[in-house]
Amino acid sequence: MTLDLNTSVTYLKGLGPHRAALLAERGITTVGDLLSYLPFRYEDRIHFTPIAELVPGQVATVRAEVVSGSLMRFARRRGAMFHLMVQDGSGKLAARFFHGGYLDGKLKPGQPLVMHGKANLDPNRPLRTEMINPEFELLRQSNNPADSTEVGRIVPVYEAVGDISSRMLRRIIYAALQKFRGDVPDPLPPDVLRRYSFPSRRDALIAIHFPPHDANVETLNEFRSPAQLRTVFEEFFLYQLGLAVRRQHEQQRVGIAMRVREAPIREALKRVLPFKPTGAQKRVLAEIAGDLEKPTPMNRLLEGDVGSGKTIVALEAATIVIENGYQVALMAPTEILAVQHYLSARRVFAAAGYSVELLVSGMKFSDKARTLERIASGQSQFVVGTHALIEDRVAFAKLGMVIIDEQHRFGVLQRKRLSEKGAAPHVLVMTATPIPRTLALTLYGDLELSVIDEMPPGRSPVETRWSADAQLPGVWEFVRREVAAGRQTYIIYPVIEESKQELKAATAEYERLSKSVFPQLKVGLLHGRMRSDEKDDVMERFRRNELQILVATTVVEVGVDVRNATVMVIEHADRFGLAQLHQLRGRIGRGSAKSYCVLVAPKNITGEARERLETLVATSDGFKIAEQDLKQRGPGEFFGTKQHGDIAFHIAHPLRDHKLLELARGEAFALIEDHSRGPEMAQLFAYLGPVWQKRFQVASVG
């Protein structure tokens, strides 16, 4: 029989019900799904490395046969080590497999195989090389090289699906492609294909699974073959198309056109501001004001490094909205931050006579009821709060703008729930996770982007040092001197209470530091499990310099703004992520006095933790740090997959492929804006809908 994209995989040879069920768990039910399951790596199995020529430290593929294999069980620990010895004509190679119990009895002497891994010097026999946990594939005893999917070509390597190995997948996919006769609809418009000389989707799929004989294995492994570039482009294109549709949809909604004028109130606001706005602040405010004037709702992301002064821009934007007779809601991820915004908004807006409201969960019932009443009646003009703002009971009289601070802490749905409390209010989201522009476009491609790329004047950069535990007495002495000069200090710990992990905990260290290290000083404790009135009280006393030292967990990570604090000591600094350390450090260096950050961690740590601390010592540029973080963690983890489940690219990688991303975005947005292409679009949407549902887990695209 011949196959097409919709044929069920159960018709394929070698796929019984058990395997079909495994594939179905991965969302693979049709031949089309199967052909979309792409290899993550390729092996050159035309040119094998003779064992005698292996170079320690290098990755190689050898073709050999089994000499012997044996399992060693460990007495005390669970698990076992499988020792394998193989040979080719040139020599012998050892391999060790940790947790290798599953290999026992599977590898008979004489069995041909292909082994791929990094060659190391065998610690016990220095003249011999070995591989630790290599990937390997058993070859059939009699090989017919002509139609083999195993050797004699560049072979694709797939991620195993349950117990369906890469090799089985390769055979199944190869067989399916042999019998494949169906159409492969191509979502890329013909003019796009021509412009970039991309192969058709059909040709690309074939070439990705089974690259032509003259293909270059390095190019393939860098995902730079024409077939792969096309497929990466396609993933970005479909994703961006969805964003473009969403944005168009947004733009068709009727919003509230605000009148922007230099009214007396804004003059008053200028008078109360203790500083002149930076050029960047003025520019982004103009961008925001431009949006507010339009009759479509604003959807803007305001990006700026920690301390760049986003809050004041938000308050100025709020002024415009309030002047027009509408309410503004500002949502912050923590109570501490909400309280802080509340206090600064009250300070700034007092001169203008606006009424400012705070709404958090920990409020007394009667207070809350009265607050809700004032919000519902329209008496409150500026409402600051936490997640409490999106509760059902909260109703606004006339919500004109929604501001979300530290938006990476919220999900898309939370953002939506708040804006649904008004009739198409303007939306401004702010983030201190500065990400490269292209990435911002991938993630938030339906938002306009404003960037504050300038720090307020008079800040001296924070000096960052890396100290070992043994140097702590010196560090404490330094803290004492700074406090004697009138400054304040944060001391940060990764955990609240003592645990098995042998990490110093905030509570215990607070006891110790206040009693024996700084007995003459006022030390406070702040962590997430305290009651909110306790937290407020501690923060307030620290703000007023009644506490000179604040021992805290990462609750101070976002937004806390105490200019007189000039020292931050972060213990177990190697336990924190890069972005988190940068955010923490952003709490100091906010005034004109020189600030110091001390990262406490062993000097002999290695790997990524070392890189993180070295990056922090070397730079305070948030964009550089974010980029480094992204490289270390990959996009999924960086953005927290939970909140951004919609970034489900198969082979596209926003950082590696950012050029293609920009091209794809340009093409997708141009297509949506070109109304003459209606019929083509209808076809494309028929394709796009299911792809979006399946791949990007978004219920609808518009």
- For Mg ion, the binding residues (CB under 5 A) are 559
Q: CB of 114 within 8 A of CB of 63?
A: yes
Residue 306 tokens read as 């920690």
Residue 631 tokens read as 């490289």
Query: What is the rounded distance in angstroms from the CA atom of residue 401 to the CA atom of residue 237?
Result: 31
Residue showing the smallest CB distance to ligand ADP in the complex: 309
Minimum CB distance to ligand ADP smaller for 211 or for 559: 559
Minimum CB distance to ligand ADP smaller for 283 or for 504: 283
Q: CB of 291 within 8 A of CB of 426?
A: yes
Determine if 408 is a binding residue for ligand ADP (CB under 6 A): no
What is the crossing angle of helices 264-272 and 335-350, to 10°?
120
Q: CB of 157 within 8 A of CB of 167?
A: no
Determine if 278 is a binding residue for ligand ADP (CB under 6 A): yes
Q: Which of 50, 187, 189, 277 binds ligand ADP (CB under 6 A)?
A: 277
Q: Which of 201, 230, 247, 310 binds ligand ADP (CB under 6 A)?
A: 310
Minimum CB distance to ligand ADP smaller for 88 or for 305: 305
Alpha-carbon dihedral sign for residues 633, 638, 642, 645: negative
List the single partner that 278 binds among ligand ADP, Mg ion, none, CB under 5 to 8 Å by kind. Answer: ligand ADP
Residue 342 tokens read as 């509340």
Instruction: Output the 3-class SS for 164-207.
Output: ECHHHHHHHHHHHHHHECCCCCCCCCHHHHHHHCCCCHHHHHHH
User: Among candidates 678, 647, 541, which has minimal Cα distance to 238?
Assistant: 647
Determine if 230 is a binding residue for ligand ADP (CB under 6 A): no
- For the bound state, the minimum distance from the C-beta of residue 544 to Mg ion, rounded and expressed in Å, comes to 21
Determine if 30 is a binding residue for ligand ADP (CB under 6 A): no
Of the candidate spans 176-184, 309-317, 647-655, 670-678, the one that interacts with ligand ADP by CB under 6 A turns out to be 309-317
Site for ligand ADP in 416-445 (CB under 6 A): 432
Query: What is the rounded distance in angstroms from the CA atom of residue 450 to the CA atom of residue 332?
Result: 19
- For the bound state, the minimum distance from the C-beta of residue 586 to Mg ion, rounded and expressed in Å, comes to 9
Site for ligand ADP in 126-165 (CB under 6 A): none
Of the candidate spans 168-176, 271-279, 420-428, 534-542, the one that interacts with ligand ADP by CB under 6 A turns out to be 271-279
Instruction: Give the three-class secondary structure for 91.
Output: strand
- The type of residue at 506 is A
Alpha-carbon dihedral sign for residues 478, 479, 484, 487: positive
- For the bound state, the minimum distance from the C-beta of residue 551 to Mg ion, rounded and expressed in Å, comes to 23
Determine if 590 is a binding residue for ligand ADP (CB under 6 A): yes
- For the bound state, the minimum distance from the C-beta of residue 336 to ligand ADP, rounded and expressed in Å, comes to 13
Q: CB of 452 within 8 A of CB of 310?
A: yes
Determine if 307 is a binding residue for ligand ADP (CB under 6 A): yes
Residue showing the smallest CB distance to Mg ion in the complex: 559
Determine if 306 is a binding residue for ligand ADP (CB under 6 A): yes
- For the bound state, the minimum distance from the C-beta of residue 316 to ligand ADP, rounded and expressed in Å, comes to 11
- Burial-class residue 141 by CB neighbours within 10 Å (0-12, 13-18, 19+): exposed
Q: How many CB atoms lie within 10 A of CB 444?
A: 21
Minimum CB distance to ligand ADP smaller for 430 or for 661: 430
Q: CB of 113 within 8 A of CB of 66?
A: yes
Minimum CB distance to ligand ADP smaller for 348 or for 399: 348
Minimum CB distance to ligand ADP smaller for 7 or for 311: 311
Minimum CB distance to ligand ADP smaller for 118 or for 459: 459
Query: What is the rounded distance in angstroms from the CA atom of residue 26 to the CA atom of residue 22?
Result: 7
Minimum CB distance to ligand ADP smaller for 276 or for 529: 276
Minimum CB distance to Mg ion smaller for 561 or for 662: 561
- Pairing, β 299-304 against β 59-73: unpaired
Q: CB of 360 within 8 A of CB of 338?
A: yes
Minimum CB distance to Mg ion smaller for 100 or for 559: 559
Residue 22 tokens read as 């495994």
List the single partner that 307 binds among Mg ion, ligand ADP, none, CB under 5 to 8 Å by kind. Answer: ligand ADP
Residue 442 phi/psi, 5-degree rounding, is -65, -45
Minimum CB distance to ligand ADP smaller for 372 or for 558: 558
List the single partner that 306 binds among ligand ADP, Mg ion, none, CB under 5 to 8 Å by kind. Answer: ligand ADP
User: Which residue bears the tokens 């290798």?
Assistant: 100
Minimum CB distance to ligand ADP smaller for 102 or for 275: 275
List the single partner that 404 binds among Mg ion, ligand ADP, none, CB under 5 to 8 Å by kind. Answer: none
- For the bound state, the minimum distance from the C-beta of residue 514 to Mg ion, rounded and expressed in Å, comes to 29
Minimum CB distance to ligand ADP smaller for 590 or for 665: 590
Q: Which of 32, 117, 199, 309 binds ligand ADP (CB under 6 A)?
A: 309
Residue 235 tokens read as 């993933």
Q: CA angle, corner 277, sides to 580 and 540, nearest 5? A: 50
Calculate the alpha carbon distances from 231 to 4, 121, 193, 198 in Å.
20, 40, 11, 9
Residue 298 phi/psi, 5-degree rounding, is -70, 145
Instruction: Give the three-class secondary structure for 693.
Output: helix
Q: Which of 297, 304, 434, 635 binds ligand ADP (CB under 6 A)?
A: 304
Q: How many CB atoms lie within 10 A of CB 485?
A: 9
Residue 575 tokens read as 């336990």
- For the bound state, the minimum distance from the C-beta of residue 561 to ligand ADP, rounded and expressed in Å, comes to 5
Q: Which of 536, 561, 646, 680 binds ligand ADP (CB under 6 A)?
A: 561
Minimum CB distance to Mg ion smaller for 382 or for 518: 382
Of the candidate spans 119-127, 238-246, 547-555, 556-564, the one that interacts with ligand ADP by CB under 6 A turns out to be 556-564
- For the bound state, the minimum distance from the C-beta of residue 582 to ligand ADP, rounded and expressed in Å, comes to 11
Site for ligand ADP in 450-509 (CB under 6 A): 456
Of the candidate spans 162-170, 306-314, 434-442, 514-522, the one that interacts with ligand ADP by CB under 6 A turns out to be 306-314
Note the residues at the interface with ligand ADP (CB under 6 A): 275-278, 281, 304, 306-312, 432, 456, 559, 561, 563, 590
